[in-house]
Amino acid sequence: MWQAWVNGILGLWIFIAAFLHMGKTGNFWNDLLVGIVAAVVGFLMVKDKPWQGWLTGLLGIWLIIAAFIPSLIVGSGNLWNDLIVGVLMMIGGFGALGGQTHTTQHAH
């Protein structure tokens, strides 16, 4: 499932980006923690566990919101990074839910 790989890679990127913008401690910890959770959950995402899609989608929404919290803003580069990655994580996480199909097998 492509969404799992995309969200895992985006999580790794946010984790790495936390170390590239050492301007504010709050932003560092936000990106670090969101990155770790998104990477782990993204790489573990499978069709049988929709909670992982919900979690990465919600983390994407959080990154979008956090990009506008004054105490977390380091600069315009970080703002755009969090916005773009947040949107992509949201699409990947919630997009994985759209692929959920439950089939039942009937015994004859």
Tens of pLDDT along 30-48?
A: 777 888 888 887 777 655 6
Is residue 83 exposed (0-12), middle (13-18) or buried (19+ Cβ within 10 Å)? middle
Q: Given the structure tokens 């919600």, which residue do they identify?
A: 58
Q: Write out pLDDT tens, residues 68-83.
A: 887 766 666 777 888 8
Q: For residue 8, which of 32, 53, 34, 38 has the smallest C-alpha distance?
A: 38
Q: Write out pLDDT tens, residues 45-69.
A: 655 667 777 888 888 888 888 888 8
Can you give the pTM of this predicted structure? 0.68
Return the SS3 of 1.
Answer: coil
Domain boundaries, the chain: 2-98
